Amino acid sequence: MYAISLGDDAELRPLEPWHAGEFLAHLERGREFIGQYIPFGSNETDLLSARAKLQHYAALRAADTGSLHGLWLEGTLVGGVLFLNFDAAAGNCEVGCWLEPAGTGRGLVTRAMRVLIDWAVEQRGIHRVEWVAASGNQPSLNVARRLGMTRDGVRRQAHPYGGLRHDLEVWSVLAPEWRAARARAAHHDH
């Protein structure tokens, strides 16, 4: 399959059912950190459940309604980016991410997300890319900012998690905004 270099010995690759052992080891290393704001990976506690999670996303990819992509740093799976909801017919998608501590502070999610959004907009005709994160999850909100997204609003106390009700911030970027920002960035590179 593909492996897209993100620089600094980091790669974006498909995360597939046959990665279940590596995925489980990654979740074990990062479970507490990942679980601060999202339940991603919290039910995957053995090889069978880890494989089932990856199989679920493989089925979403086959149905063209979602997909999972791993982030490898120096050959070790440290996180990933995903299309949670992908609706090419409507031109809308929602993206997300997760990382274990070893993958943080390097811009991996921002760089990987640029690849995903470019593909969604340019190859699949997606018009609106959405990012939803708990208001307290500053690293996630910072990625939305770095991607040039606009804060659409707050869904107050919409996310019951960890015994609390969290506000969810909704951010988005529209295809014309994305293309304009990418063109400006390319112009400054020359």
Arithmetic mean of pLDDT over the chain:
94
> Kind of pairing, strands 92-99 and 164-174?
unpaired
The domain spans of the chain are 4-189
Can you say how many angstroms the Cα of residue 132 is from the centroid of all Cα atoms in its chain? 10
**What torsion, rounded to 10 degrees, do the Cα atoms 187, 93, 87, 20 define?**
110
Residue 28 has pLDDT above 60, yes or no: yes
CB atoms within 10 A of CB 121: 23
> Kind of pairing, strands 92-99 and 128-134?
parallel
Cα–Cα dist 69/10, whole Å: 13
- Give the neighbor-by-neighbor strand order of the sheet with 4-7: 4-7, 10-14, 67-73, 76-87, 92-99, 128-134, 164-174, 150-161
Residue 50 CB burial class (10 angstroms; 0-12, 13-18, ≥19): buried
pLDDT tens string 36-91: 999 999 999 999 999 999 999 999 999 999 999 999 999 999 999 999 999 999 99
pLDDT tens string 33-44: 999 999 999 999
- DSSP lists the bridge partners of residue 131 as 95, 171
Query: Of the CATH numbers 3.40.630.30, 3.40.50.1010, 3.40.50.11540, 3.30.2130.10, which one belongs to the domain with range 4-189?
Result: 3.40.630.30
Cα–Cα dist 69/81, whole Å: 5
Residue 189 has pLDDT above 70, yes or no: no
